[in-house]
Amino acid sequence: MAHHQRRPDQAITDPDEQMAIIRRCKHLTIAMARGGEPYLATVNYGYDEAARAFFFHSSTVGKKIEILRENPLVWGQIMEDLGYCDGRCQHAFRTLQFCGRVLLVEDPAEKRRALSLMIEHLERDPSAVKARFVDDRSVRGVAIGRIDVQLFSAKRGKTDD
């Protein structure tokens, strides 16, 4: 799936800057659809850079899981809000958008790894939290989605005019 940015001067093409957005932010929003009806969900995440895959957790039942089982294609966005530029009627931001396919992870070892990635991304002291939450009970009781990214597109809000 090709994507053409309308404002190439605002494009972020440097992979290191794109990764900085992923590392700095804590939530992403995924857009999905079922039967022509759109649906959005905002989730926290972990990212596996080598696999180009985001992981998120969810309840094992509910609208998001139902939709993803029917249509695993998603569009996602991470937005880094850098603040409103008072008096300039502009907003400073960086966004990373991506398209991908969601796989609902069943393998217990991959679920453990995904939970560990998410905790490491979010927590200042991940070892204590992993000891409490990455166990057999948690792995059995949670759904884990893996978004295999097909395309990244990023841009920044222009604030230097």
3-state SS, one letter per residue, for 108-142: HHHHHHHHHHHHHHHCCCHHHHHHHHCCHHHHHHC
Residue 137 corresponds to which tokens in the numbers above? 């009970």
For residues 107-128, average pLDDT: 95
Per residue in 62-116, pLDDT (tens digit) is 999 999 999 999 999 998 766 666 666 666 668 889 999 999 999 999 999 999 9
Q: Which of 75, 54, 38, 36 is nearest to 145 (CA)?
A: 54
Q: How far apart are CA 110 and CA 139, in angstroms?
A: 10
Q: How far apart are CA 139 and CA 108, in angstroms?
A: 6
Q: Establish if 51 belongs to a structural domain.
A: yes
- pTM value > 0.75: yes
Number of folded domains in the chain? 1
Per residue in 47-72, pLDDT (tens digit) is 999 999 999 999 999 999 999 999 99
Burial class of residue 32, CB neighbours in 10 A (0-12, 13-18, 19+) = buried
Q: Establish if 40 belongs to a structural domain.
A: yes
What pLDDT is attached to residue 99? Answer: 95
Per residue in 36-46, pLDDT (tens digit) is 999 999 999 99
Q: Establish if 116 belongs to a structural domain.
A: no
Q: Establish if 24 belongs to a structural domain.
A: yes
Q: What is the CA radius of gyration of the chain?
A: 17
Q: Establish if 136 belongs to a structural domain.
A: no
DSSP 60: S
What pLDDT is attached to residue 160? Answer: 55
Q: Containing H/E element for 24?
A: helix 15-24
Q: Establish if 126 belongs to a structural domain.
A: no
Q: CATH number for the domain including 98?
A: 2.30.110.10
User: Could you tell me if 29 and 77 are in contact, meaning their C-beta atoms sit under 8 angstroms apart?
Assistant: yes
Q: Containing H/E element for 63?
A: helix 63-70
Least confident of 85-89, 94-98, 130-134, 139-143: 85-89
Q: Establish if 21 belongs to a structural domain.
A: yes
Q: Establish if 47 belongs to a structural domain.
A: yes
User: Could you tell me if 86 and 115 are in contact, meaning their C-beta atoms sit under 8 angstroms apart?
Assistant: no
Domain, as residue range, for 90: 10-107+143-156
